[in-house]
Amino acid sequence: MSGTRALTNLQMACPDCHTLNRVPEEKLGQGRCGRCKAALFHCKPINLAEAHFAQHVRAELPLVVDFWAQWCAPCKMFAPVFEQATTELEPRVQLAKVDTEQAQQLAAQYGIRSIPTLALFRQGRELDRVSGALPKEQFLQWVRERI
């Protein structure tokens, strides 16, 4: 049919129970988890541990991960920027934080050498990364240019 667009369902992981869900693209912002019924977006980054990282990275919805550590001053400076960015990037992108001190194996697996490191994933692939605390507008531009 000409002039009509096929409905697209995007796969994404629930920030609460980490179950993969299929959500119609046009209803991303209102989506609820089919398992736990929690909202799929909370307007704040998801704190990811190693146990649930793979579910979120495999999703079709882009995922930006902030690899950080509690002792890192630039990480602490960047944290409010990252959190504020969720209100501008959701529901087109999910944002998550990984504490490299708690997830050392994951940090080693992805070759995290400096923090903060921001990595963009989609469907199990790392698409790009940048290291260092970015100003909000620069961070938003980096994400938007890559999704």
| pLDDT tens per residue across span 3-34 | 444 558 889 999 999 999 999 988 888 889 99
Per the CB < 8 A criterion, the answer to whether 68 and 122 are in contact is no
pTM of the entire structure?
0.91
**Helix or strand or coil: residue 50?**
helix
What pLDDT shows up at residue 7? 55
Closest CA to 67 of 101, 113, 99: 99
Mean pLDDT of 113-139: 97
Rounded to an integer, the average pLDDT of 107-120 is: 97
pLDDT of residue 9: 87
CB 33 within 8 A of CB 47: no
Give catalytic status of residue 43 as yes or no: no
Candidate list 17, 33, 36, 72, residue with the active-site label: 72
Say whether pLDDT at 95 is over 60: yes
DSSP string of 56-99?
HHHSSS-EEEEEE-TT-HHHHHHHHHHHHHHHHHTTTSEEEEEE
What structural domains and CATH numbers belong to the chain? 43-146 (3.40.30.10)
The mean predicted confidence, pLDDT, of the chain is 93
Q: Which residues pair with 126 in a beta bridge?
A: 121
- Res 2 pLDDT > 80: no
Report helix angle 136-146 to 73-89, nearest 10.
60
The pLDDT of residue 31: 86
**Residues of the chain with pLDDT > 90: what percent?**
86
Catalytic residue among 17, 33, 43, 75: 75
Active site residue 72: yes
Q: Largest Cα–Cα distance of the chain, in whole Å?
A: 57
Find residue 122's DSSP bridge partners. Answer: 125
